[in-house]
Amino acid sequence: MEDLTIVTGGAGFIGSHLVERLDAEGERVRVVERPGADVSHLPGSVEVVFADIRDPEAVRRAVAGGRRVYHLAANPNLWVLDRSEFDAVNHRGAVLVIDAALEAGAERVLHCSTESILTRARAAGPIAEDVEVTDRDAVGPYCLSKLRAERAALERARAGAPVVVANPTMPVGPGDRGCSPPTRLIWDFCAGRLPAVMDCTLNLIDVRDAAEGLLRTMRLGQPGRRYLLGGENLSLLGILEILGEICDRRPPRLRVPYGVALAAAYLSEFWSDHISGRAPQATVTGVRLTRRSMHFDASRSLRELGLAPRPVRGSLAEAVRWLEQRGGPSAGASRNPARELPGNSPAPA
């Protein structure tokens, strides 16, 4: 087998930084992206294949010859008009990629999961990577689809397959062309478009450290283990205070009560589901996640991987500079406003 590394979702925020890191080390890389995805920012030496991960034959062709396969591709939105898309892409699509890679003889497969499936309604302390999760713990169809994908990956590892799992928390930093939730929050705040917030706790990690964590999990991780790639636990208000110092703005004083936000989310989704067909301004899953504990302890994973994430204050400042240089998010970059924070906080994957 040729020495080829495959990255599904390699044009995304974390994925593109991972691809750049692999390319810089001289690895031969093939990126697998959805048809129509923008791949213009990827290194010219990278091979690009367009494939729908719901198509078994397309997946088999895309991963053929890969010695190492990173699976990052997923639908990260918290709302889609056809809810079955979550399971089709995030769960069954992941299983197709993992199984096709193993059948093709891949020596290592990494499944990129999410911290969202590890959240708890009542947590006695910080949540670590060994927390037990069940379907009942999942908040909404997005989290359930990601949980089932991770479970399938770990089941294959327990049966002897060389599969490892990594759960990055929320990535921040430069280069977010798709405008993920943290990046949208940063821009909206700095542009003065955040009049009110719901406070919650978030765990942020620099996107480059998340990518480095994936690389180290692939190389050093034990099959069947989950590796939590987390950085700093911060309240949303604390994040806004840091951004306020960077952007010279005062954080919003108005707080939105949970009940008001949840009612607004139900109404917004009803309008989207039955009338507009467009993404809601708030999602039920996003609001419900603000009541979950997202205070994580990634110390064990970081220690075993030898990863020391940088302070996120600098990452936030770099994200602001990158956005200012581009005049803000690209037009149409946020394909789904329901991915925005606060109250709409899906995973990075």
Burial per residue of 209-237, b for 16 or more beta-carbon CB atoms within 10 angstroms, e otherwise: bbbbbbbbbbeebebbbbbbbbbbbbebb
Written as six digits, the tokens of 158 are 């327990």
User: Highest-confidence range of 47-56, 174-183, 184-193, 329-338, by mean pLDDT?
Assistant: 47-56
Which residues lie closer than 8 Å to 185 by C-beta, 6 or more apart?
194, 239, 340, 341, 342
- Report pTM: 0.91
As a whole-number percent, the residues of the chain with pLDDT over 70 amount to: 93
Per-residue confidence band for 32, with pLDDT thresholds at 50, 70 and 90: very high
Per-residue confidence band for 125, with pLDDT thresholds at 50, 70 and 90: confident
Q: Do 262 and 248 form a contact (C-beta atoms < 8 A)?
A: no
Round the average pLDDT of the chain to a whole number and report it: 91
pLDDT in tens, 273-289: 999 999 898 899 989 99
Q: Cα(115)–Cα(127) distance, rounded to whole angstroms?
A: 10
Residue-level pLDDT at 182: 86
pLDDT in tens, 249-272: 999 989 999 999 999 999 999 999
Q: Do 301 and 229 form a contact (C-beta atoms < 8 A)?
A: yes
pLDDT in tens, 8-25: 999 999 999 999 999 999
**Which residue shows structure tokens 């750049």?**
20
In 25-150, the DSSP E strands lie at 28-33, 47-50, 68-71, 108-112
Residue-level pLDDT at 1: 66
Average pLDDT over residues 18-33: 98
Q: Which class is 4-175+203-231+293-310 in CATH?
A: alpha beta
**In which element (H, E) is residue 312 found?**
helix 312-326
Domain spans in the chain, listed from the N-terminal domain onward: 4-175+203-231+293-310
Residue-level pLDDT at 178: 86
- Does residue 346 register a pLDDT over 90? no
Burial per residue of 17-47, b for 16 or more beta-carbon CB atoms within 10 angstroms, e otherwise: bbbbbbbeeebbbbbbbbeebeeeebeeebe
> For the ranges 75-79, 190-194, 236-240, 327-331, which has the lowest average pLDDT?
327-331
- DSSP string of 216-245, one letter each residue: HHHHHPPTT-EEEE--EEEEHHHHHHHHHH
As a whole-number percent, the residues of the chain with pLDDT over 90 amount to: 80
Closest by CA to 288, choosing from 209, 333, 208, 346, is: 346
User: Highest-confidence range of 110-124, 128-142, 305-319, by mean pLDDT?
Assistant: 305-319
Per-residue confidence band for 206, with pLDDT thresholds at 50, 70 and 90: very high
Residue type at 278 in one-letter notation: R
Q: Cα(147)–Cα(102) distance, rounded to whole angstroms?
A: 20
Burial label, 96 (beta-carbon count in 10 A; 0-12, 13-18, 19+): buried
347 vs 262, which has greater pLDDT? 262
Average pLDDT over residues 31-60: 97
Closest by CA to 98, choosing from 83, 118, 84, 112, is: 112
Q: Cα(314)–Cα(311) distance, rounded to whole angstroms?
A: 6
Average pLDDT over residues 218-242: 97
